């Protein structure tokens, strides 16, 4: 029964941010579970690499080079799917600046990608699913920052908190159509997005590992399995929820 619940054969998934990190790991795992996967990202080379990984494992992948803040292009890509069962809105960026130094352009960029991009993906997915009478699953990507905040995280935390409210609100609106909407709020995950700061990065990871009862930071596959769970029939009675795969970390700010 467990294997059947996670079998996505015959279903189609759309994954934003699929060129690397959590997005790539999720796209590959969804394909391994039987889904046809549409991969979207502004990094065309990364998209090609993700699609190659999927195809080398016998899966089916389609690529859509796009920026999630381009509503029209995103709508075109989603509409091109003959059917759509799963939307995983994972694309996002990191940003850090003290509150007193936060500029308008910082807010616009982070909210544009981390919130508006998710909103657009959710809107287009919901419209597609309602129009085709598909009882689908929409998955958004929040963050542990929704619970803890932290120095320099105003823009990032605010955008991710907005994603949570989007998730809960949309779940109430599309539930009558049989569509589920849930969010994943990861803890610290080792990805290309976070792995850019040399020794400072190593110190951060060591610190985060010490805060976890499991004694480690997360890997993209840890989050991909959470995405798979929410995409599958194993979570058929789950909607409007925030799943927190964070290693048990509670930040001591």
Domains, in order of start, for the chain: 2-236 (3.40.50.720)
Tell me: pLDDT of 195 over 80.
no
Q: Which residues are catalytic?
A: 156
Token pair 């048990």 in the structure block, residue: 248
Of 119-133, 142-156, 162-176, give the lowest mean pLDDT range. 142-156
Query: Would you state the pLDDT for residue 198?
Result: 54
% residues pLDDT > 90 (the chain): 79
Mean pLDDT for the chain overall? 93
* Nearest-angstrom CA–CA distance, 144 and 204: 15
> 34 near 8, Cβ under 8 Å?
yes
pLDDT greater at residue 251 or residue 54 = 54
Compute the distance between CA of residue 56 and CA of residue 58 in angstroms, rounded to an integer. 5
Residue 150 pLDDT grade (very low, low, confident, very high; cuts 50, 70, 90):
confident
240: left (phi over 0), alpha (psi -120 to 50) or beta: left
E strands present in 1-119: 12-16, 36-41, 61-65, 86-89
Question: With 80 as the cut, is the pLDDT of residue 197 above it?
Answer: no
As given in the structure block, the two tokens for residue 232 are 């599958």
Tens digit of pLDDT for each residue in 79-114? 999 999 999 999 999 888 999 999 999 999 999 999
At 166, list the tokens: 């989007």
The mean-pLDDT minimum among 22-26, 92-96, 187-191, 232-236 falls in 187-191
For residue 101, give the DSSP letter.
G
pLDDT category at 209 given cuts 50, 70, 90 is: confident
* Residues paired with residue 36 on neighbouring β-strands, in sequence order: 12
pTM of the model as a whole: 0.94
> What count of other Cβ atoms lies within 10 Å of the Cβ of residue 32?
17
User: String of b and e for 48-68 (b: at least 16 CB within 10 Å)?
Assistant: ebbbebbeeeebebbbbbbeb
pLDDT at 1: 44
Give which of 192, 188, 245, 189 is closest to 219, Cα–Cα: 189
pLDDT for residue 253 is more than 50: no
Pick 96 or 161 by higher pLDDT.
Answer: 161
Q: Over 70: is that where the pLDDT of 163 sits?
A: yes
Strand order in the sheet with 12-16: 61-65, 36-41, 12-16, 86-89, 137-141, 180-184, 242-243
How high is the pLDDT of residue 192? Answer: 74
At residue 11, the pLDDT reads 98
What is the pLDDT at residue 203? Answer: 82
């Amino acid at each position: 029964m467990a294997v059947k619940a996670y079998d996505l054969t015959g279903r189609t998934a759309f994954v934003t941010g699929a060129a690397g990190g959590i997005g790539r790991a999720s796209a590959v795992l969804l394909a391994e579970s039987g889904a046809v996967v549409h991969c979207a990202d502004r990094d065309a080379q990364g998209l090609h690499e993700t699609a190659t990984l999927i195809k080398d494992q016998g899966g089916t992948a389609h690529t859509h080079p796009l920026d999630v803040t381009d509503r029209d292009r995103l709508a075109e890509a989603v509409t091109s799917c003959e059917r759509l069962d799963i939307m995983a809105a994972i694309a996002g960026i990191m940003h850090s600046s003290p509150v007193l130094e936060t500029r308008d352009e910082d807010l616009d960029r982070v909210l544009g990608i981390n919130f508006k991009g998710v909103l657009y993906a959710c809107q287009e997915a919901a419209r597609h699913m309602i129009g085709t009478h598909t009882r689908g699953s929409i998955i958004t990507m929040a963050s542990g920052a929704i619970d803890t905040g932290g120095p320099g995280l105003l823009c990032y935390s605010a955008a991710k908190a907005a994603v949570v409210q989007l998730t809960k609100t949309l779940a109430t609106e599309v539930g009558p159509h049989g569509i589920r909407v849930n969010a994943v709020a990861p803890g610290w995950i080792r990805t290309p997005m976070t792995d850019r700061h040399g020794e400072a990065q190593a110190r951060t990871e060591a610190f985060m590992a010490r805060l976890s009862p499991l004694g480690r930071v997360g890997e993209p596959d840890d989050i991909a399995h959470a995405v798979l769970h929410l995409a599958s029939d194993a979570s058929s009675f789950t909607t409007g929820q925030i799943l927190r795969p964070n290693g048990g970390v509670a930040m001591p700010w």
